[in-house]
Structure 1
Amino acid sequence: MSHRVAAIDCGTNSFRLLVAEPGADGGLVELTRELRIVRLGQGVDATGELHPEALARTFTAAEDYADQLRAYGVPPERRRLVATSAARDARNTAAFVAGMEARLGVRPEVITGAEEARLSFVGALSGVRVADAGPVLVMDIGGGSTELVRGEASGAIAQAVSLDIGSVRLTERFGLVGPWAAESRAAATAYVDGLLAPVGDLLEGVVTWIGVAGTVTTVSALVQGLAAYDRARVHGSTVGAAELARLLDRLAGLTAAQIRGLGAMEPGRADVITAGTLIADRIARRVTRSMLVSESDILDGVALDLLAGG
């Protein structure tokens, strides 16, 4: 029987795959990690439905992943597919579920925000060393939602929230086409601040702040000025509040085409990265700690769950 597992995460903007097997230390040995920008959440905030074009893009990527799962010999019972914000919010999720099950041999789980937060926390802690005692905050900025999870280095979770602010949702809701107009930026900032205000206690007194997922890793690459994305230089890097603020000001003054031309930028993220950076910036102003960037995230949490289940 194969001990390999496949974790698949279908978010609002990206669709990702991790194939791994158990390591000698009880952790993961990564065999492949893939990402496709499919923008499943295209228009969901406005229409409440998954767009046919978005479904078609996602199904095409799923067919590619299915080929890889066969090549790596991962049986259907060792696969788990989680879907997050866009699939939670859409009325026509049935078409998505049927299409993914037909292609990947596993039924998608449209997980709750609480489960998404737990998996992100477990995954983030698996990839970085947290030496300091005291509260740990894991932040996962997605396309449709942002998960904030507070807990301890032991893995115990004290508090978790899922907020309806994400890079795609914010961009679409406020028409954030660069260069940003001052009034659009002010309105988006006020909206983010309004959603963060009730969870201020979760952000106070944090000793270690870990950021995960594509917005955060891209921000790190841009702050470092990398000519091309380099996972080894991104993982374990730190980004300070002042660096975030400077990057936000820079990106807000650029068009999507100009952002797309930046060395470390993934083309499919160029039109929403500024909104994602705004979310990170508003959180940084409350946490008052530099952000530790982790390449380990919800995918790693899902894979670890699969391995723990035998």
Structure 2
Amino acid sequence: MRVAGIDCGTNTIKLLIGDLPDVEVREVRMVRLGQDLDRTGRLADEALARAFAAIEEYAGLVRAHDVPPDRVRFVATSASRDASNADVFVAGVRERLGVEPEVVSGAEEAALSFDGAVRNLRTPPAEPVLVVDIGGGSTELILGTSAPEAAHSMDIGSVRLHERHLHSDPPTAAEVAAFVADVDAHLDACPVDPAAAATVVGVAGTVTQLGAVLLDLPAYDRTAVDQLVVPVGQVHELVDRLVAMTVAERRALPSMHPGRADVIGAGALILDRVLRRSGAVELVVSEADILDGIAWSLVEG
């Protein structure tokens, strides 16, 4: 059964079309839907325009692959939950795609992320597994075995906290300290304890981008990045290096997506703080994430 899943986050909109487990189309567009959302509480007009352009493109791909509307699921996460004008976004999606977008709760977002990531692992992990999903507006921690047993969504993401704290290029020590204090406060209040995990799996763009930089790839290669196992010490060293770089220096890295260069330091710092609490010695990088969970939800009902 061919299905189409769309994941609309704060920084990216992603599309998967396939007759699972075979994937025919996997696309990502950097639209920065959450631009200035933390400051203004609303979706900016130019951000909506970028998002709608990507959705129109995706609608064409869905039609070209003959996916009927009842097999299309559009899931919107952090930015759409928080915006005062989310109704404008929902109406625009409905008009362009012909399906009703779902603005899911943090708990459902976490469950979809866990399913997508754990289903993808080729080597059975030591349990329990902690899935860390760092988005542009929120970060989910999901702990479980075959299914999520504890999950929590925190309003800390790479775009949100970059805009809130990291105003210099590169950021100052004081800005980084304020950033870390913000993340630590959220982790202190988080009911999911990273220290309980036997395996830590990182998903979404921050983690996969870090994997590509660690491998020193000449260009981004999702096959090389998927299932990469990285010693945690190497992750910490890379985070320190990226945070100290200017945006131009990050953008010059061969595998760096230009739309992620400004916020990758923020996402990396969030990952760094989670890993320091986990006690893990390795990080498993997964290319499969909430998008895969969305697509499988259509197959399995």
Q: Give SS of 2:253's match.
A: coil
Cα drift, residue 172 of structure 1:
0.4
Post-superposition CA distance 1:19-52 (Å, at most 9, x none): 0113xxxxx2111100000000001101000000
**Aligned equivalents of 2:65, 2:40: Cα separation in 1:** 38
Tell me, in whole angstroms, the C-alpha distance in 1 between the residues paired with 2:101 and 2:135.
18
Corresponding position of 2:149: 158
The one of 185, 209, 217 equivalent to 1:194 is: 185
Task: Report the residue type matching 1:158 in the other structure.
Answer: E
Distance 1:237 1:109 in 2: 32
Please point out which of 43, 50, 57 is paired with 2:43: 50
For 1:68, the equivalent position in structure 2 comes to 61
Deviates more, 1:127-136 or 1:294-303: 127-136
| Counterpart residue number, 1:4 | 2
2:290 to 295, 298, 307: 298
For the pair 1:212 / 2:212, whether they are aligned, the reply is no
Task: Determine the structure 1 residue equivalent to 2:119.
Answer: 126
Matches of residues 10-21 of structure 1 in structure 2 within 5 Å?
Answer: 10-21=8-19
Task: Determine whether 1:141 maps to 2:134.
Answer: yes
Secondary structure in structure 2 of the residue aligned to 1:209: strand
- Structure 1, gaps ≥5 residues long: 23-27
SS at structure 2 position matched to 1:246: helix
Task: Give the C-alpha shift of residue 240 in structure 1.
Answer: 2.5
SS of corresponding position for 1:192? helix
How much does 1:248 deviate?
1.5
- Match for residue 87 of structure 2? 94
| Corresponding residue SS for 2:196 | coil
Deviations 1:241-276 (A, max 9, x none): 211221122112211122111111111011000000
The question of whether the paired residues in 1 share the 8 Å contact of 2:139 and 2:154 is answered with yes
Change (3 A) 1:33 1:177: farther
Could you say which residue in structure 2 is the equivalent of 1:224? 215
Kindly indicate whether the alpha-carbon contact (under 8 Å) linking 1:84 and 1:110 is maintained by their aligned counterparts in 2.
Answer: yes
- SS of equivalent to 1:269: coil
Given that residues 166 and 179 in structure 2 are in contact (C-alpha distance below 8 angstroms), is that contact kept between their aligned partners in structure 1? no
1:307 is the counterpart of 2:299: yes
CA deviations on 1:69-111 (whole Å, 9 max, x unpaired) are 1111111111000000000000001110011111111111000
Other-structure match for 1:183: 174
Structure 1 residues 152-172: Cα deviation after superposition (integer angstroms, max 9, x where no partner): 0x2x22100001110000100
- How far apart are residue 227 of structure 1 and its match? 1.3
Q: 1:249 to 1:308 in 2, by over 3 A?
A: same
1:176 Cα deviation after fit = 3.9
Output the CA distance in 2 between the equivalents of 1:6 and 1:299: 10
Give the whole-Å Cα distance in 2 for the aligned partners of 1:84 and 1:135.
Answer: 25
Whether contact under 8 Å (1:178, 1:252) holds in the other structure is no
d(CA) in 1 for partners of 2:8, 2:23: 19
**Letter of the aligned partner of 1:147 in structure 2?**
E
Gaps of 5+ in 2: none
Instruction: Specify whether residues 201 and 268 from structure 1 end up closer, same or farther in structure 2 by C-alpha distance, changes over 3 A only.
Output: closer
**Number of equivalenced pairs:** 300
Asked if the contact 1:176/1:275 (under 8 Å) is kept, the reply is no
Equivalent residue in structure 2 for 1:103, among 77, 96, 116: 96
270-279 vs 219-228, which moves further: 219-228
Instruction: Between 50-59 and 229-238, report the one with greater CA deviation.
Output: 229-238
Name the % identity. 53
1:39 alignment partner, SS class: coil
Separation of aligned partners in 2, 1:56 and 1:171: 22
Give the SS at the match of 1:46.
helix
CA RMSD of superposed structures (Å): 1.2
**Aligned equivalent of 1:271:** 262
Give the AA of the match of 2:221: D
Name the counterpart of 2:32.
Answer: 39
Contact residue 171 and residue 177 of structure 1 kept, 8 A = no
Normalized against structure 2, the TM-score is what? 0.97
